[in-house]
Each structure stands twice: as C-alpha cells, then as structure tokens.
C-alpha cells in the first residue's frame, strides 16, 4: 500500500531570513531529491493540505499568542515593525533576520498537514502519512522558541483525542534536541506516552529532558526521556530501541504512533554532537515500522529538522525508506570519520539504559 506524503511548495516560506540557521530552502532541496531518487508510482502519493484556521490553532495555543504571532511575522515579512513585546511571546532565536519568509502562514500549513494526516488515517485512506515540514516540538501554548511557532506534534495528538476519541497515543521524538514543548503539553496526561531520544541536555539546548523527568500526577511514568551521550551512534540507538522504546510500546499498546525528528542526530550536523550515519536513520525508520504493527500500521511521521543541508536529504530519505520498506540504497554523502567507524559511546549508553529502567521500573512491567 502506498504511503501518503504531505507537502506543498509554500513550506519554503518557513524561513527566518539570511544568516539564521533555519532557512526554507530545505523544503525545496528534499522534494527534488526524493523525486530524483524514488518515483511516485506505487511507492507514495504527494498530497496537499490547507492552512490551519484560528479554530484549529486554538486547540493548542492561547488566543493572545496567536494574535501577536500572526501580526508580528506578517509585519516582519513586509519589513515593518509591530507593536508589543516580542520577548513576551517568543525567544530570541525565533527573531527573524533581514527579509524572512511568510513564517506564520507556513507554520499554519504545518498544523494543517498534521490535521490532514490524522484525518487520512482515521478515515482508513492510508496507514502511514509523512509530513514534510514541521516537527515544531519546542513551541508551547503561549510561547515560541527553538525556531518553532506552532507545535504540530502536539496538535496531531490533541486533535486525535478531541476529534476521534483516541485514548492511547505514542509520541516518539528522535530529534537531537529534547521536545520540551511537546513534553509540557502532555506531562500529566496518561493518554499520551511521550518517549524522547535526544542529546544529553547538559550539552545541548533546551537543557531539559533528564532521565528523572518522568511525568507528574496521572501522567507519572508516561514521559520517558532518553538522554543520549554525545557521539552516540548506531549501536547506541539500536540498544535504546530494543531495551526501552519497543518493549514499552508493546506494553502501552498505542492506537497510533506519531514520530517526529529529522537529520540533526547525524555526526556532521552543525548544531549537535551525536554520531548517527545515514544507515542509522534507516534503522530508526525500520524500528518504527516494526512498532506500528501494534496499532494496525497507523503512524504519522513529521520530518523537519537538520542543519547540514548536504546530509539532510539523504537522512530524510533513509528515514522514510526504513519506515515504508522502500528497497533502495541511500548512500552516506560524507566520509565517516574514524572516530565514528564504531560507536564511541556504546558503553555510556548502556548506563543510560540502566538508569531509565531504574526510574521507570514501577510503571512498566517490561522494565522491572
């Protein structure tokens, strides 16, 4: 069965301007690379979503935040100033530079894609839907940060619950940065199991996501933070999936899985210090493909991050190929440095796994 890929060229407007780490050209680079390396045929269907309206955004954001964000970024695109305190609603890294794109409109499109992905799956039209663009996992109900404006991962989960009555959702965040926004949305909600693999927060923004942050109230035990040691590579990620992620998923029995994350765990990413090769991204996709058997194949994949544009299309395609079982080879675009020929952090990752089991053994039989 072909998978659905949600994309439209307007996503390139998600561009913070010259000199900013997050530019919109990623949404031109990857679709071209995909088309050149894998024909649509029976493999996938490219579909288009519409922008979210205010009513949609109200599911995850406060009205004053929506109003300010719409006004500010529209003015910025036109080269105008906008009244109000930017720092009240956004961190400095969301400040556009020079001539940014139509950021807020593109951010609404990302929410629209998340909404359409849920609708397609719940209608039984597709089992797997991939959103090209998004993964805005740092955004919160009334505060945007980390290059994120509206949190599409949180929206997909909340919309699934509100519109379709879904009661068990697994959000799997494999971005190199901890998804602090998504985590806060569901920190006390036992309907959402949030598992996050990210670089050790002592060494990377946003500085949260330690192993002992396990949820609160009714949601205690339903947040599993996996702080990966710096330079963690293929063996470390495989271990964490086999020892923690997959066993807990089987025990939780989600009705749908939402995975988010792009290429920034790659060893050559410009903002992070992990050690995955392109082969490792395919493995992540394969592990998720195994996991979705628990929920009749229902999975939404939201791909957006990565800060080495030479690596980004290869890693994104490897993720998708693993997830959809596409029988194509995706080469490593860069020479693998000697220190990453084997996983230099495997022993340290074993200790992290034991630490996770200690914190969660009272909540998950498989970790006891």
**Residues tagged active-site:** 138
Number of CB atoms found within 10 A of residue 146's CB: 21
- How many whole angstroms separate alpha carbon 229 and alpha carbon 350? 10
Estimate to the nearest angstrom the gap between the alpha carbon of 186 and the chain centroid.
Answer: 15
Residue 154's closest CA among 136, 142, 166?
Answer: 136
> Crossing angle, helix 103-122 and helix 63-77, to 10 degrees?
130
* Alpha helices (runs of H) in the chain, residue ranges in sequence order: 26-37, 54-57, 63-77, 86-89, 103-122, 152-164, 180-185, 234-240, 246-252, 278-291, 312-324, 346-360
CB 149 within 8 A of CB 69: yes
Q: Which sign does the torsion angle of CA 258, 123, 114, 45 carry?
A: positive
Q: What is the DSSP letter of 19?
A: T
CB 110 within 8 A of CB 26: no
- How many whole angstroms separate alpha carbon 86 and alpha carbon 292? 41
Please name the residue that has the structure tokens 């849920």. 118
- How many whole angstroms separate alpha carbon 144 and alpha carbon 149? 5
**Which two tokens mark 160?**
């699934």
**Which two tokens mark 350?**
């074993």
Estimate to the nearest angstrom the gap between the alpha carbon of 350 and the chain centroid.
Answer: 24
């Amino acid at each position: 069965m072909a998978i659905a890929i949600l994309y439209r060229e307007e996503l390139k407007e998600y561009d913070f301007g010259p000199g900013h780490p997050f530019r919109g050209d990623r949404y031109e680079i990857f679709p071209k690379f995909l088309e050149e390396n894998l024909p649509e045929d029976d493999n996938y269907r490219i579909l288009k979503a519409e922008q979210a309206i205010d009513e949609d955004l109200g599911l995850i954001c406060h009205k004053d935040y929506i109003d300010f964000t719409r006004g500010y970024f529209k003015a910025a695109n036109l080269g105008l100033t906008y009244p109000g305190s930017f720092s009240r609603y956004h961190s400095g890294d969301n400040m556009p530079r020079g001539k940014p794109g139509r950021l807020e409109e593109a951010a609404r499109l990302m929410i629209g894609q998340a909404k359409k992905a849920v609708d397609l799956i719940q209608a039984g039209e597709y089992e797997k839907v991939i959103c090209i663009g998004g993964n805005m996992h740092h955004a919160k109900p009334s505060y945007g940060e980390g290059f994120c404006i509206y949190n599409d991962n949180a929206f997909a989960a909340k919309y699934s619950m509100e519109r379709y009555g879904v009661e068990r959702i697994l959000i799997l965040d494999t971005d190199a940065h901890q998804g602090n926004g998504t985590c806060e949305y569901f920190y006390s909600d036992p309907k959402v199991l949030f598992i996050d693999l990210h670089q050790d927060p002592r060494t990377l923004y946003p500085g949260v996501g330690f192993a002992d942050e396990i949820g609160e109230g009714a949601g205690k035990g339903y947040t599993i933070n996996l702080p990966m040691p710096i330079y963690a590579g293929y063996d470390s990620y495989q271990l964490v999936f086999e020892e923690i992620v997959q066993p807990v998923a089987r025990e939780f029995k989600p009705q749908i899985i939402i995975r988010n994350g792009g290429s920034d765990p790659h060893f050559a990413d410009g903002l992070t210090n992990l050690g995955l090769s392109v082969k490792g991204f395919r493995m992540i996709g394969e592990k998720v493909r195994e996991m979705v058997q628990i929920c009749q194949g229902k999975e939404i994949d939201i791909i957006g991050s990565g800060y080495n544009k030479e690596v980004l299309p290869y890693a994104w395609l490897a993720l998708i190929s693993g997830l959809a079982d596409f029988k194509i080879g995706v080469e490593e675009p860069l020479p693998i440095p000697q220190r990453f020929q084997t996983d230099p952090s495997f022993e340290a990752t074993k200790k992290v796994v034991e630490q996770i089991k200690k914190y969660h053994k009272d909540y998950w039989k498989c970790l006891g």
